[in-house]
Amino acid sequence: MDARVSVIDKRLKNIKRIISVASGKGGVGKSLVASSLALNLAKKGFKVGLLDLDLYGPSSHIILGVKDVFPKEEKGIIPPNVHGINFMSIVYFTEDKPSPFRGIDISNIIIELLAITQWGLLDFLIIDMPPGMGDETLDVIRFIKKSEFLVVSTPSKVALGAVSKLLKILKELKIPIIGVLENMSMTRSSFIKNEIDSMDLPYLGCISFDNALEESIGKPNKLLESDFMKDLDDLLEGINL
């Protein structure tokens, strides 16, 4: 019997809300949304954790410009606080080298991370999810029963193909879906809104394509002032965050 699994609930007990930022599709802005959401909430005075579960292509540390920090070992491992966020990522352990993991390894890494990370008291834990619907998604569903999902799409039909599959399975399993956020919109179109409406799920609004966003990558203070953040912040108001 894998003992590590049993302690996970205890590790997450003092976290008020857990929000997994997911999509099914890659490159839609999950990591940007997750990191920005964490920054936004921290700035509002909440106690916030951020867990990067994209183990192949971890991005949150790039977006937040995290460097030269390492978790403290104390009755487990304590995520370093960066820009007001308790931040946990596989990069602490990989030196950012390639990570050729198979599914079973992914699952074991997630179990280990959840079993040994001491988050303490948090208002929010934000999880930056990888694309797909594999071991990471299935394990978040299996081990983090109280996680809600915030789903990101772009305006494209290609993205919606993967996004709607994730939405269908979450809906079928009666997992709370905060709603769908449309990112990188360039022209006014109600394509995504209509599709989400027809699935009877909340459409949260859209974030415009931000031409200057790349300059804010790695610079949280700049990111806080970006158009991207402005759009996100407006949209968060709509869901009382």
Ligand X SMILES: Nc1ncnc2c1ncn2[C@@H]1O[C@H](COP(=O)(O)OP(=O)(O)O)[C@@H](O)[C@H]1O
Interface with ligand X (CB under 6 A): 23, 26-32, 59, 154, 156, 158-159, 183-184, 207, 209-210, 213, 217, 228
Tell me the window of 6-14, 42-50, 211-219, 224-232 that interacts with its own copies (CB under 8 A). 211-219
Distance CA 103, CA 228 (A): 33
In the window 42-71, what residues touch another protein (CB under 8 A)? none
31 makes contact with Mg ion (CB under 5 A): yes
3-state DSSP call for residue 219? coil
Alpha carbon distance 33, 179 (integer Å): 13
Q: Token digits for 144?
A: 């983090």
**β-bridge pairing 81-82 and 85-89:** antiparallel
Q: Which residue is nearest to Mg ion (CB)?
A: 31
Among 49, 79, 132, 220, binds its own copies (CB under 8 A): 132
Per-residue buried b or exposed e for 1-37, using 16+ beta carbons within 10 Å of the residue's own CB: eeeeeeebeebbeebebbbbbbbbbeebbbbbbbbbb
Under rule CB under 8 A, residue 141 binds another protein = yes
Q: Quick check: 205 binds its own copies (CB under 8 A)?
A: no
Most distant CA atoms of the chain, gap in Å: 53
CB-CB contact of 161 with 78 (8 Å): no
CB of 20: closest distance to ligand X in angstroms?
12
| Cα separation, 138 vs 128, whole angstroms | 14
Query: Applying CB under 8 A, does 50 fall inside the site for its own copies?
Result: no
Name which position in 43, 56, 80, 118 contacts another protein (CB under 8 A). 118
Q: What token pair was written down for 113?
A: 């991370």
Site string for its own copies, 159-198 (x = CB under 8 A): x-xx--xx-xx--x-------------x------------
Q: Residues in the site for another protein, rule: CB under 8 A? A: 1-7, 10-11, 73-77, 90, 92-95, 97-102, 105-106, 108-109, 111-113, 115-116, 118, 138, 141-142, 169, 172-173
